[in-house]
Structure 1
Amino acid sequence: MKNRTAIGIVCIILAVVITFVVSPMVNKVSDKKTETVRFTTNVTHGTKIKETDVEVVKISNSALPDKVVKNKTAVIGKYATADLFKGDFATENKVTDNANTASDVMASLKGNKVAMSITINSFAGGLSGKLQNGDVVSICVTGKDNKAEIPAELKYVKVITTTTSGGVDENDVVENEDGSFDLPTTITVLVSVEQARILANYEKNAAMHIVLVYRGDDASAEKFLKAQDEYLEKNSRNGG
């Protein structure tokens, strides 16, 4: 009987300790807040994240998402891996350093640029199968008069991807059993509507040869593409 009484007293003491000591401590820890990056605007898949797209807020540790990003510098300048919405918290899997897959680029299209595929006429014409997503290239054209030139409208063009005859994009090509790789038969490029019209004409009436201009960081690549855009805009204003 005494043992039962002692056990009962111990249980009561433990209950009191849990209620008035342990629980408040647990609640205090869980109520601590951590700075977290949150989106202030909708950001579409493949779009570069700007400083105005995010903010830093404090939220309870108990509501903290897995792999949450706590510093804006870890997000700004990177790309969304999916459609993100105002109020979403930034996590490591929602951003990427590069957005060069075909799906990334195509998901980021907003109407000012279009994706277009052109045929690789020969092994050499497609840079011997060595083109990579994000490359900046010039398109050298040889017409029926056998005169080769790089049209000013096609001096700097971004490669979205290359695709094999089986429809496999550059990112997804795997090695065959004999150690070889299926070669691409088309190149998909990011161009303006004007450039697309020019390419469609050359696709039908000329042979095209791809010339690699630049492969490297996005910022440097953008300088070439910006120069091309400026030429197209100036030419358009002048009625060219």
Structure 2
Amino acid sequence: MSIFKNRTVVGAICILLSLLICFGITPLFNKTVSQKTEIVRVAKEIKAGDEITKDMVQLVEVGGFGLPENVIRQTDTVVGKYAAADLSVGDYILAPKLSDTPAAENAYLYNLDGSKQAMSITIKSFAYGLSGKIQSGDIVSVIAPDYKKQGTTVIPPELKYVEVISVTASSGYDANTGEAPAVEDEKELPSTVTLMVSPEQSCALAALEAEGKLHLSLVYRGAPENTAKFIAAQEKVIAALYPTKQEEAQPEQPQTPASQQPAESEAQ
């Protein structure tokens, strides 16, 4: 007769197994569930592309069971990084939701060094902005109809070669980040174009924007080294149009009084 046909033996085995589960496995499971660990949690709403600061996150203690392996556990790992997705209050921060660089749609703003400025101009109609085909890195000319109300259409010399750094849709999102839109998403039309300009160019653009009359024409699209040549040529024109005020000439050295000048040698 097999041992498992003996009801007494089978019952004893079941009892032993139940005791093992109750006093062995269950306490270990409860201990694991109740074990606490610290993680970083969102304290303020964070939008995609925002730089994360200390007041946006908090270190909290939670149960360690079932936490994702890539959950962030130290605030130093988060502060100074950029959100790759929208984060709501109470969310755990996972490593894939962080980025070392700002989002594509505003990364260019972090490259400004003070010598130039980023300035946006409004695209009044589809045709004014090259039918939505302008891209970051393009060199464009700004055309001013009825320039200074003189009845002529000109390209102001200070705006002959201007670099495009962004094209933005009416929703506020950049329309040319380089990322392919989802198939079901309808392509947004450009509403503004952001240009890299000098202070002198920004003043000229502001005047044209106030008048509501300006067009953009594409001059060059291609290698960055060639783009730099157009920018260098424009900078020379601006330097000639708006010469830097030279420092006042240094005062002449005081002349030595005649009485103190050495007498000329008498002719021998």
TM-score range, shorter chain: 0.5 to 0.7
Partner of 1:172: 180
Q: Which amino acid aligns with 2:10?
A: I
SS of structure 2 residue aligned to 1:10: helix
Change (3 A) 1:42 1:201: same
Task: Identify if the C-alpha distance between structure 1 residues 8 and 172 changes in structure 2 by more than 3 Å, giving closer, same or farther.
Answer: same
Determine whether 1:70 maps to 2:79: no
Q: Distance in 2 between matches of 1:210 and 1:35?
A: 56
Q: Give 1:59's aligned amino acid.
A: V
Task: Assess if the C-alpha contact under 8 Å between 1:140 and 1:211 holds in 2.
Answer: no
Tell me whether 1:147 sits opposite 2:151 in the alignment.
Answer: no
Secondary structure of the structure 2 residue equivalent to 1:45: coil
The alignment status of 1:57 with 2:60, answered yes or no, reads yes
Q: What one-letter code is carried by the residue in structure 2 that aligns with 1:27? A: N
Kept in 1, the 8 Å contact 2:143–2:214? The answer is: no
* Structure-2 residue corresponding to 1:159: 166
CA-atom RMSD, angstroms?
4.7
Contact 2:48–2:85 (CA under 8 A) maintained in structure 1: yes
Q: Is the 8 A contact 1:141 1:148 kept in 2?
A: no
Matched with 1:84 is 87
1:98 aligns with 2:95: no
- SS of the aligned residue for 1:62 comes to coil
- AA paired with 1:98? P
1:11/1:204 CA distance change after superposition, 3 Å: same
Query: 2:9 maps to what in 1?
Result: 6
Query: 1:17 aligns to what SS in structure 2?
Result: helix
Deviates more, 1:78-87 or 1:197-206: 197-206
> Does the 8 Å contact 1:44/1:84 carry over to 2?
yes
Q: Which amino acid aligns with 1:53?
A: M
Paired residue secondary structure (2:12): helix
TM-score, with length taken from structure 2: 0.48
Q: Deviation string for 1:58-79 (max 9, x for gaps)?
A: 2111252463222323322233
Higher relative contact order (CA 8 A, sep 6+): 1
Aligned-partner residue type, residue 102 of structure 2: N
- Whole-angstrom distance in 1 between the partners of 2:181 and 2:159: 30
Return the alpha-carbon distance in structure 2 between the equivalents of residues 55 and 85 of structure 1.
13
**SS at the partner of 2:166?**
strand
Question: For 1:35, which of 33, 38, 42 is the aligned residue?
Answer: 38
Q: Is the 8 A contact 1:81 1:95 kept in 2?
A: yes
Counterparts of 1:139 and 1:209, CA distance in 2:
5
> In 2 relative to 1, CA 140–205 (structure 1 residues): closer, same or farther, beyond 3 Å?
closer
Q: Kindly tell me: are residues 80 and 74 of structure 1, through their superposed partners in 2, closer, same or farther at Cα, counting changes over 3 Å?
A: same
Relative to total residues, which structure has the larger strand share, 1 or 2?
A: 1
Distance 1:41 1:71 in 2: 17
- Cα offset for 1:9? 0.8
CA contact (8 A) 1:141 1:208 kept: yes
Larger Rg: 2
User: Which structure 2 residues correspond to residues 81-230 of structure 1 after superposition, within 5 A?
Assistant: 81-96=84-99, 97-101=101-105, 118=123, 119-121=128-130, 126=134, 131=136, 141-143=142-144, 144-150=153-159, 158-160=165-167, 169=176, 170-172=178-180, 188-189=192-193, 200=209, 204-207=213-216
Percentage of pairs with the same residue: 27
- Give the length in aligned residue pairs: 177
Gap runs ≥5 in structure 2: 110-117, 145-152, 170-174, 183-188, 196-202, 225-268
The question of whether the paired residues in 2 share the 8 Å contact of 1:35 and 1:59 is answered with yes
Aligned amino acid, residue 141 of structure 1:
V
Q: Which runs of 5+ in 1 are unaligned?
A: 106-112, 163-167, 175-184, 216-240
